[in-house]
Amino acid sequence: MTKRRSKSRDAARTPQSESRRAFDDANRKLQDHHLERLAVVYVRQSSQRQVEEHRESAALQYALTKRAEQYGWPQDRILVIDEDQGQSGRSAENRLGFQQLIAEVSLDHVGLVLGIEMSRLARSNKDWHQLLELCALFRCLLADQDGLYDPTEYNDRLLLGLRGMMSEAELHILRGRMYQAALNKARRGELITHVPLGYIRTPHGEVAIDPGPEVQDTIKLIFREFDRLGSAMSLLRYLHRHDIRLPIRPIFGPNKGQIDWRRPVYATIINILHNPTYAGSYAYGRFQTDPRRRATGRAQARFQASIEDWKVLIHDKLPAYITWEQYLANVNRLRANGSMFDTAGAVRDGESLLAGVIYCDRCNRRMFPHYKGKKKSVAYVCPGNYPSSGVSTCQRLSARFVDDLVVKQVLSAIEPASLELSLRATDEIRKEHDEVHAQWQRRLDDAAKRSNRAGQQYKAVDPANRRVASKLERQWEETLAEQRHLEDEYDRFLRDQPDRLSQDDIEAIGQLSANVPQLWSQSSPFSADHKRIVRHLIDRVVVEIDGNSEVVQVAIRWQGGFDSRHELIRSVANYDQLKDFERLRKRVNERWRSGRSTTAIAKDLNTEGFCTPKAGGKHTRYTIRKLLDSWGLTEPERPQSPVEFATLDPNEWWLLDLSCKLSIDRSTLARWCRRGWVHARQLPGQRRWWIVWADEDECIRLRRLYEHGRGWPRHNGSPYPEELKYPKPRPPIK
Q: Do 146 and 61 belong to one domain?
A: yes
Q: Within a domain: residue 539?
A: yes
| Rounded distance between C-alpha atoms, residue 583 and residue 598, angstroms | 17
Look at residue 190 and give its three-state secondary structure.
coil
Q: Do 211 and 293 belong to one domain?
A: yes
| Rounded distance between C-alpha atoms, residue 602 and residue 356, angstroms | 42
pLDDT for res 715: 43
Torsion of CA 18, 22, 28, 30, to 10 degrees: -160
pLDDT for res 313: 92
Side-by-side strand order, sheet with 358-360:
358-360, 538-545, 551-558, 563-569
Look at residue 455 and give its three-state secondary structure.
helix
Domain that holds residue 683: 642-725
Q: Within a domain: residue 108?
A: yes
| Rounded distance between C-alpha atoms, residue 418 and residue 719, angstroms | 48
Q: Do 280 and 141 belong to one domain?
A: no
Q: Do 461 and 551 belong to one domain?
A: yes
Tell which of 524, 557, 590 closes a domain. 557
Q: Within a domain: residue 5?
A: no
Q: Within a domain: residue 4?
A: no
* Residues β-bridged to residue 679: 693
pLDDT for res 686: 58
Q: Do 53 and 121 belong to one domain?
A: yes
The total of other beta-carbon atoms located within 10 Å of residue 431's CB is: 11
Residue 553 phi, psi (nearest 5): -95, 130
| b/e 478-494 (16+ beta carbons within 10 angstroms → b) | ebeeebeebeeebeebe
Q: Within a domain: residue 140?
A: yes
| b/e 435-471 (16+ beta carbons within 10 angstroms → b) | bbbebbebbeebbeebbeebbebbeebeeeeeeeeee
Q: Within a domain: residue 59?
A: yes
Q: Do 249 and 308 belong to one domain?
A: yes
pLDDT for res 321: 93
Residue 358 phi, psi (nearest 5): -100, 135
Contact 140, 110 (CB under 8 A): yes
Q: Do 601 and 676 belong to one domain?
A: no
Q: Do 514 and 452 belong to one domain?
A: yes
Q: Do 81 and 136 belong to one domain?
A: yes
pLDDT for res 508: 56
pLDDT for res 669: 87
User: Is it true that the peptide bond before 387 is cis, omega within 30 degrees of 0?
Assistant: yes
* Residues β-bridged to residue 369: 380
Could you give the number of structural domains in the chain? 5
Q: Do 32 and 174 belong to one domain?
A: yes
pLDDT for res 199: 93
The CATH number of whichever domain residue 265 belongs to comes to 3.90.1750
Q: Do 259 and 385 belong to one domain?
A: no
Q: Within a domain: residue 570?
A: no
Smallest Cα–Cα separation from 407: which of 551, 519, 553?
A: 519
Full DSSP string of 571-604: --SSGGGSTTHHHHHHHHHHHHHTT--HHHHHHH
Q: Within a domain: residue 250?
A: yes
Q: State the catalytic residues.
A: 46
User: What one-letter code names the amino acid at 83?
Assistant: E
pLDDT for res 432: 67
Q: Do 144 and 216 belong to one domain?
A: no
Low-confidence ranges of the chain (pLDDT < 50): 1-13, 15-16, 18-20, 388-390, 419, 423, 638-644, 711-717
pLDDT for res 408: 85
Strand 110-114, strand 141-143: pairing: parallel
